[in-house]
Structure 1
Amino acid sequence: MYNKIVVMYREAPTDKSDWWELYEPFEETLSDGSTILIPAGYVTDFASVPMLLWSFFPPIGKYNRAALVHDYLYDLQYRQKELGEKSARKFADDQFLFLANKILPNDNFRHLIMYLAIRIFGLYAWRKSK
């Protein structure tokens, strides 16, 4: 069974996205077997999806775990000193795909589209986290 994500709504400083704050810490195992602990108080918008695509790829829902972990890895720039920017960002993006496949193993095509969007458009968000 999966860890439960306990969040509360938090008003965003702009009208562009909704923010959610972790009410309890959240732990997840990554594809390499390591575990990451996201602390209570961490704020996420889950998936940053343009409103036009929400009916196909909702920003909140089934993939909250994958989006939460991905956001956290981006904010930490997880493993960047060890791997370099390009490889660290790819590792974070790969975790989204890994967790999406773990959540819904039979929806690989949708996951691949989401993953490719993250790979294409994620660089700005990664560099913004610096």
Structure 2
Amino acid sequence: MLMPTLKPIPIDTKNKTFWQKVWILLTCVRNWELVDDWVFIMPCGTLIVIPRGFVMDGASTPRFMWGLLDPVGILLIQGIIHDYGYRYNYLWAVDGKGCRYKYHEGQGREFWDKIFLEVGLHVNEMQITGYLSWLMLRLFGGKAWEENRIRNAPELLPQ
């Protein structure tokens, strides 16, 4: 499996008050940008492409769970795919002729949460971690889904 190349996005703490910096320390999550298009073969065999320039935070795991479910550790691969699915409600896929198309466009939150679980089980082969992270996602992911519907992010195209 080819791993994605990620660039950390700086967290702005310059010219902040002490208490603002404490708040950032306790609540802020680092974002990461894909440096290149990233190709992944889904468990079903579909080749997907997440375009370069996509910015994500990994799996939006509640901070108290990071010791067990690191958002850019064991959850990285399914987190990238899931974050893209949440943002755009589709993934870019490539067919046998090399043509790209929108994979499962418009399927909704429950579908992307299921993809998170399937990819996690496929990549990590860890049932407990897979189901625990999926449960956290089902319990706490609604806000992120709704925020992405409002965000209406500009479309990114694979190269």
- TM-score by shorter chain over 0.5: yes
For residue 129 of structure 1, give the secondary structure of its aligned residue in structure 2: helix
Q: In 2, distance between residues paired with 1:32 and 1:4?
A: 19
Of Structure 1 and Structure 2, the greater helix share is in 1
Residue 65 of structure 1 aligns with an amino acid whose one-letter code is: I
Shift of 1:95: 1.2
Paired residues of 1:17 and 1:45 also in contact (CA < 8 A): yes
Paired residues of 1:63 and 1:103 also in contact (CA < 8 A): no
For residue 28 of structure 1, give the secondary structure of its aligned residue in structure 2: strand
Paired residues of 1:30 and 1:95 also in contact (CA < 8 A): no
Tell me what 1:6 maps to: 5
For the aligned residue pairs, the C-alpha RMSD in angstroms reads 1.8
**TM-score, with length taken from structure 2:** 0.69
Q: How many residues align?
A: 122
Tell me what 1:38 maps to: 50
Q: In 2, distance between residues paired with 1:22 and 1:11?
A: 14
Residue 60 of structure 2 aligns with an amino acid whose one-letter code is: S
Q: In 2, distance between residues paired with 1:29 and 1:119?
A: 24
* Structure 1 gap ranges (5+): none
User: RCO higher in 1 or 2 (8 Å CA, sep ≥ 6)?
Assistant: 2
Residue 131 of structure 2 aligns with an amino acid whose one-letter code is: L
Shift of 1:62: 2.2
Tell me what 2:140 maps to: 121
- Kindly, what percent of the aligned residue pairs are identical? 27
Q: Does 1:24 align with 2:67?
A: no
**TM-score, with length taken from structure 1:** 0.83
